[in-house]
Structure 1
Amino acid sequence: MGENLWDIVESMDEPPKPEDGDKFKYWRSKNASALHVIQMSCNGDAFSEIRNITSAKEAWDILEVKFKPQPESTDKIISDDEVNNPDDQYQLYERFPKALKDGNLDATKEIITQYPNAVSKIISRTGRTALYVAAIAGHTEIVETLVEKMLPEDLEMKDSNGITALTVALYYNANTKIVECMVKKSKKLPTVVDSWGMPVIWAFRYCPIKMARYLYSVTTIEDLISWENHGYAAELISQAIITKCYDVALHLLHRCPQLATTLGIYQYTPVHILAIYSSGRPLKFWQKWINESIVIYGDRVIKEIYTKLPTNIDMSSDKELRGKVWSLQRVAMHFDILGFNKIYEMKLLHIQTSELLRRMCEEIKKLDENQISRSDIIIALFRAVEKENFEFVESILKLIPDLAEAYDIHGRNIFMAAINCRQDKIFSLIHGVGTKLAATNDVDADKNSMLHMAGFLSPHPQLDRISGAALQMQRELQWFKAVESVVPPWTCGWTNSKFLTPRQLFTREHKQLLSEGEKWMKETATSCTVVGALIVTIMFAATFTVPGGNDEETGYPKFLDDKTFMLFIISDAISLFSSTTSVLMFLGILTSTYAEDDFLKSLPKKLMIGLGTLFLSIAAMMISFCAAVCLMLDGKKSWVALFIISLASIPVTLFVLMQFPLLIEIYLSTYRPNIFNRKP
């Protein structure tokens, strides 16, 4: 009603026909909007009923027939025989729900004694059962009292909206004792499907992981993987992957491998979810070193344990497994002592995801071409490219090399998508496929070639990993040059649907980044020029005002023969010459033309030399100062000299912390190996 769409559903008139012109167009627009609203409001069960319906009114009518609750449920509502007078009615419909909500245990027991059947009936005017009301309130003792009086099948009762008490208990408070109390009474409860789904799936999606794991541990797997529940079981695997409970996903997949390619209730397969959620952040160099150490020390043990299923195994009877677990604990203890437990956990998760991917690939291998095209494996492959999930893409392409020729909705192959998302490791896989030539000659729906893909601006998450607009521009140019070296020559002059060559597209897309790069370079160069010029002035003056002064007869410095004096002169000269070089480099940056190709080598080299010589000049200046102090004190008050030398190290350290990482990044960015590894 708020969107003025209800009349489409409510109308009893025949819809207009295409020949009615504007009237038909108006109806078609409103019908599409109304149908979209209805579809978006449906869960998996409801959506399956109207999947192929194109009329909003027809979809509404189907849902109304199937799901609209009846005004009364005669087999559940308190019967007239049980309610003999208005006082009894008050007891049941007013006092009982109030006692449950308030946590009044005595009043609850009194009413249950008087009306024993009330525990398994709808007792509120809103269509809720006693257990439902108590579960929302979260009163453990009252829930236990009700459950004790109920039969196992009574716990599966649903309110007028089709929701079980267990589901609301998970939603409103996730009280462990309440949930345990219900599940102990009815083992089937975690897999009872209600209008909100299945409780065990709900737990993984919305509850704390501890609660989700508990509920899965008491779930009857046979009920979960039964044929009619396959969609729910597949969804549970997907939710376990999202919450990084990979051992749960492995356990369930081990029991029913075909779930890997089964659509879940939210219309995604576990394969698709793994493609999106199993990728991790790139490790820093020291994290990679620790990661490799874990591989050497504990990878074999961990992998053996996590490939031996099921999860809920009794280790007391398996000496071999107990020994492996102890080895695993030693690995964990070792790395925890070193303070690297987080890296250890990351490695553990990686091993689990690798095993999960391997098992899914075994199932995908069984599918024929038609089954693959009907599934969402191709979509998952492209989503994996977006998420930088190299391991997933590599495994799928090894398994089904023909998918290298698959296309997304824009008509782009997997390698064009990799360029567009700036995934260099994934693009490098092109050197290992037999259809490399065909792939490099492809164009998408807008007539964009691979080189056009390199001409588009990188996604922001990729750009944000690089410091400074100038280095971002350099990286973009490196991508363009690297792709240019792979594609056939004809693509350089090829125009897309907007009549732009790859280079013209690159210039248009990177116009703002070029301007920001120029601004960043000038600001950095200006700031460093001021510092360099100041050092030049200081060190030039220090050359003619040497410590101790000059001999009046010869004019030579009085400390000329002292080794400390020679250190002073040499460090002064180094500081003067290096700061002068630094100023000249930064002046060269300020007077540059700032053409696109200047950002590839010329400007980064100048900035690198400028920062390097500036760092050298500051360090030499501090050494010169310390040498001068030592000469003046002449061995006396040595503690003063040590204190001053310690203070002198502070500016050098600060400069290293603030600017040296940038210097290293510029060097690696400028002189790194080719973006694409031809032997990935």
Structure 2
Amino acid sequence: MGRKILDQERQKSGNNDIINSAITSSMETALHVAAGANQAEFVEMLINDKDNIDLTFQDVHGNTAFCSAVAAGSKRIVQKFLTLTHLLPTDYCFIKTRGGQNMSPLYIASWFGQPQIVSLLYQDSIDKANIEDGEILGIYFNCIHNDMYDLAIKMIEDNVDNFRLGIAHCWDTTDESALHVLSRKRPLDFTSSPQAKTIWSRVWSRISCQSPSEMPALTLAKIIWKQVLEKHGYQYNEIRRIIKHPFNLVIEAANNGNFDLLVVLIRMCPELIWERDDENNTIFHIAILNRHVKIFRLIHEVGVLKSVIRIEAGNNSNNILHLVARKPQQSKLDSIIGAALQMRHELLWYKEVEKIVAPSLRNKKNDENQTPNDIFTKDHEQMMSDAEKWMKKNCNTCLIVATIIVTVAFPAAFDILDQGDKDKHNVSSVSQLPPPRDIISIILLISNAVAMSFSSIAIMLFLSIMISRFTKNEFLWTLPCTFITGLSLLFVSVTAMMVSFCFASFIPNESLRIPIFSSCIELLPIILFFYLVYPVFRDTIHSTFFSQNEFKATNRLLKHYEK
């Protein structure tokens, strides 16, 4: 199709060199457009169409088609261009030719975040393109900004004798160091602890005897931080001046929940644990405000528990219990399903912080004459109301399902008993009844009894939730446990009811094909019920029985990072 269009345009315009003509207002040729759109087949067709194609043609911004391919990130097209040396003028090289704003192809690839292209061009660019230190610094920061940490590490290793990239600052107006950039990254970019891995990955690591691999971002942070400390002779005053400009990277990492980066910084410079923001908050106060449990748990490891508790945050004489009583931003709670579990999460945080606070501080009033409990009640008033509505809504739905099961299972049980009485009075029928039919009748009776009794118990449990007072203490244990038990019994009753229906289909049929087919269909509701209810059931169990473990003191967190 592309060739046909080009031939038609040649006939209309009478220009045989239309392949080298600009077709956009930016003076781009068809090759520019195709390379920028990752159309590898069309690019190859254009290149093979005429031997006199101009690969050096620049658009109004000074970019060649090769620059467009580099920005688009098409490795296939870039490799194709690099093989076309026979179509280029003498001494012309794609890697050396700069594009718009005098940017090298390597810089363009790093700017647009194309890791494959940067890896492809890096070594040849360093050897041939005469890239200056300033541009190397820009490429280095582009790699960090665009999460190409492996390439940033390689650049540090390749430029040790030239200058230290780790202690350099960005050459744009931000004047940030690499650590400042890393402090704003997502915590997942650094996560390498065993706690962050899935169960199956941990099992496989044990079986294969493999040590957990370290994330490139964490490795980069260690290299950079070591360079900074060595450069300033581990002098805390000098180091503190570096980390506070243009913003305090320790506080920024704490705000973002960047636990792994904080551990790297604190292990090599423990004094940083006392860094504070403009409101006198330490990283532990910030962890409480933003509900970063891993950072908060460090308070048990570094031996500063009593000292941190004595620090009052802000200008209102608030202690850490006042801080945890405040409702966090909704984005901090969105990962928790349901308002009731969010409320329990908030209550758990309050209780855990209350454990480490001296009794004299638990009812201490701030400058606004508010105790921590007053703040918690006021800030969480709407959440309490939403939690009550969420719990009642779900219990009401479960009540309807349980009632339907009882309605179906109750008469079914009597039908089975009536059928058994008829068979006993019909001697000829009993003598001809195969033994498996008796077993099926027993299974039917048991499954109906399980479905009816478990549904009845579930109804009583959900009713107890509906008439509950919904106090804060009930949200901690009573309501979640009752809800979990009722949901479990409801699932068992649904399963028992469907099993009863499956076995009932075998009684009137001599052939097994139809009963087996109908049984497969009747088992689908069990799978669907489990699939739909499982997320809420899983989160409720985790929140009720396992979330407390996240607050337990441990000495493993810092040791995990020792190399």
Say yes or no: does 1:236 pair with 2:139.
Answer: yes
1:374 to 231, 238, 241: 241
Say yes or no: does 1:677 pair with 2:552.
Answer: yes
Instruction: Quote the offset at 1:546 in angstroms.
Output: 1.6
| Corresponding residue of 1:582 | 458
Moved more, 474-483 or 351-360: 351-360
Amino acid at match of 2:164: Q
| Corresponding residue of 1:385 | 254
| Corresponding residue of 1:253 | 156
- Structure 1, residues 38-97: CA drift from partner, whole Å, max 9, x if none? xxxxxxxxxxxxxxxxxxxxxxxxxxxxxxxxxxxxxxxxxxxxxxxxxxxxxxxxxxxx
| Corresponding residue of 1:289 | 200
Q: How does 1:179-198 map to 2 (within 5 A)?
A: 185=93
Whether the aligned pair in 2 keeps the contact of 1:234 and 1:260 (CA below 8 Å) is no
Say yes or no: does 1:483 pair with 2:347.
Answer: no
Say yes or no: does 1:358 pair with 2:264.
Answer: no
Instruction: Quote the offset at 1:220 in angstroms.
Output: 3.4
Amino acid at match of 1:460: Q
Instruction: Quote the offset at 1:470 in angstroms.
Output: 0.7
Q: How does 1:189-228 map to 2 (within 5 A)?
A: 200-206=106-112, 208-220=114-126, 226=133
Instruction: Quote the offset at 1:277 in angstroms.
Output: 2.4
Equivalent-residue separation in structure 2 for 1:106 and 1:476 (angstroms): 65
Amino acid at match of 1:374: R
- Structure 1, residues 370-410: CA drift from partner, whole Å, max 9, x if none? 32222236722222233332221111111111111100223
Amino acid at match of 1:274: L
Say yes or no: does 1:276 pair with 2:184.
Answer: yes
Instruction: Quote the offset at 1:280 in angstroms.
Output: 1.5
Say yes or no: does 1:458 pair with 2:332.
Answer: no
| Corresponding residue of 1:404 | 273
Equivalent-residue separation in structure 2 for 1:411 and 1:103 (angstroms): 68
Say yes or no: does 1:144 pair with 2:14.
Answer: no
Indicate how the Cα distance of structure 1 residues 526 and 145 shifts in structure 2: closer, same or farther if over 3 A, else same. Answer: closer
- Structure 1, residues 225-264: CA drift from partner, whole Å, max 9, x if none? 74xx3xx544433321232322210022222473223220
- Structure 1, residues 437-469: CA drift from partner, whole Å, max 9, x if none? 211221222333222222222333331211111
Whether the aligned pair in 1 keeps the contact of 2:19 and 2:30 (CA below 8 Å) is no
Indicate how the Cα distance of structure 1 residues 588 and 258 shifts in structure 2: closer, same or farther if over 3 A, else same. Answer: same
- Structure 1, residues 174-203: CA drift from partner, whole Å, max 9, x if none? 48549997995598776x9x9788874453
Equivalent-residue separation in structure 2 for 1:627 and 1:144 (angstroms): 77
- Structure 1, residues 14-36: CA drift from partner, whole Å, max 9, x if none? xxxxxxxxxxxxxxxxxxxxxxx
2:506 to 624, 627, 630: 630
With normalisation by structure 1, the TM-score equals 0.63
Instruction: Quote the offset at 1:545 in angstroms.
Output: 1.7
Indicate how the Cα distance of structure 1 residues 415 and 198 shifts in structure 2: closer, same or farther if over 3 A, else same. Answer: farther
Q: How does 1:637-648 map to 2 (within 5 A)?
A: 637-648=511-522
Instruction: Quote the offset at 1:298 in angstroms.
Output: 8.8
Instruction: Quote the offset at 1:413 in angstroms.
Output: 0.2
Indicate how the Cα distance of structure 1 residues 225 and 400 shifts in structure 2: closer, same or farther if over 3 A, else same. Answer: farther
Cα RMSD (Å): 4.1
Equivalent-residue separation in structure 1 for 2:541 and 2:146 (angstroms): 39
Indicate how the Cα distance of structure 1 residues 543 and 137 shifts in structure 2: closer, same or farther if over 3 A, else same. Answer: closer
Indicate how the Cα distance of structure 1 residues 450 and 105 shifts in structure 2: closer, same or farther if over 3 A, else same. Answer: same
Equivalent-residue separation in structure 2 for 1:279 and 1:167 (angstroms): 38
Instruction: Quote the offset at 1:423 in angstroms.
Output: 1.3
2:476 to 597, 600, 613: 600
With normalisation by structure 2, the TM-score equals 0.74
- Structure 1, residues 86-118: CA drift from partner, whole Å, max 9, x if none? xxxxxxxxxxxxxxxx978699xxxxxxxxxxx
Equivalent-residue separation in structure 1 for 2:406 and 2:28 (angstroms): 80
- Structure 1, residues 314-367: CA drift from partner, whole Å, max 9, x if none? xxxxxxxxxxxxxxxxxxxxxxxxxxxxxxxxx87x432232122122113223
Amino acid at match of 2:466: L
Task: State the number of aligned residues.
Answer: 485
Amino acid at match of 1:245: M
Whether the aligned pair in 2 keeps the contact of 1:407 and 1:414 (CA below 8 Å) is yes
Moved more, 568-577 or 286-295: 286-295
Amino acid at match of 2:222: R
Whether the aligned pair in 2 keeps the contact of 1:404 and 1:414 (CA below 8 Å) is yes
Amino acid at match of 2:536: L
Whether the aligned pair in 2 keeps the contact of 1:407 and 1:413 (CA below 8 Å) is yes
- Structure 1, residues 256-298: CA drift from partner, whole Å, max 9, x if none? 4732232202322111222322631789998452266358759
Amino acid at match of 2:146: T
Equivalent-residue separation in structure 2 for 1:285 and 1:425 (angstroms): 11
Say yes or no: does 1:262 pair with 2:129.
Answer: no
Indicate how the Cα distance of structure 1 residues 370 and 143 shifts in structure 2: closer, same or farther if over 3 A, else same. Answer: farther
Q: How does 1:303-382 map to 2 (within 5 A)?
A: 350-366=214-230, 367=232, 368-376=235-243, 379-382=248-251
Q: How does 1:19-38 map to 2 (within 5 A)?
A: none
Instruction: Quote the offset at 1:650 in angstroms.
Output: 1.2
| Corresponding residue of 2:448 | 572
- Flag structure 1 segments of 5+ consecutive residues without an equivalent: 1-101, 108-131, 147-158, 301-346
Secondary structure at 1:674 match in 2: helix
Equivalent-residue separation in structure 1 for 2:19 and 2:395 (angstroms): 75
Whether the aligned pair in 2 keeps the contact of 1:261 and 1:375 (CA below 8 Å) is no
Whether the aligned pair in 2 keeps the contact of 1:136 and 1:169 (CA below 8 Å) is no
Whether the aligned pair in 2 keeps the contact of 1:493 and 1:502 (CA below 8 Å) is yes
Amino acid at match of 2:370: L
| Corresponding residue of 2:4 | none
Amino acid at match of 2:224: M
Whether the aligned pair in 1 keeps the contact of 2:70 and 2:108 (CA below 8 Å) is no
Amino acid at match of 1:237: Y
Equivalent-residue separation in structure 2 for 1:259 and 1:277 (angstroms): 19
Amino acid at match of 2:516: L
| Corresponding residue of 1:522 | 392
Equivalent-residue separation in structure 2 for 1:412 and 1:197 (angstroms): 43
Secondary structure at 2:419 match in 1: coil
Indicate how the Cα distance of structure 1 residues 548 and 395 shifts in structure 2: closer, same or farther if over 3 A, else same. Answer: same
Instruction: Quote the offset at 1:609 in angstroms.
Output: 1.1
Whether the aligned pair in 2 keeps the contact of 1:494 and 1:502 (CA below 8 Å) is yes
Equivalent-residue separation in structure 2 for 1:104 and 1:554 (angstroms): 94
Rg (Cα) greater in structure: 1
Equivalent-residue separation in structure 2 for 1:501 and 1:489 (angstroms): 13
Indicate how the Cα distance of structure 1 residues 241 and 552 shifts in structure 2: closer, same or farther if over 3 A, else same. Answer: closer
Equivalent-residue separation in structure 2 for 1:549 and 1:569 (angstroms): 11
- Flag structure 2 segments of 5+ consecutive residues without an equivalent: 1-16, 34-46, 48-52, 73-77, 558-563
Secondary structure at 1:408 match in 2: coil
Moved more, 368-377 or 556-565: 556-565
Secondary structure at 1:494 match in 2: coil
Say yes or no: does 1:549 pair with 2:419.
Answer: yes
Higher relative contact order by CA 8 Å / sep ≥ 6: 1 or 2? 2
1:430 to 299, 317, 329: 299
Whether the aligned pair in 2 keeps the contact of 1:619 and 1:652 (CA below 8 Å) is yes
Equivalent-residue separation in structure 2 for 1:217 and 1:298 (angstroms): 35
Indicate how the Cα distance of structure 1 residues 517 and 663 shifts in structure 2: closer, same or farther if over 3 A, else same. Answer: same
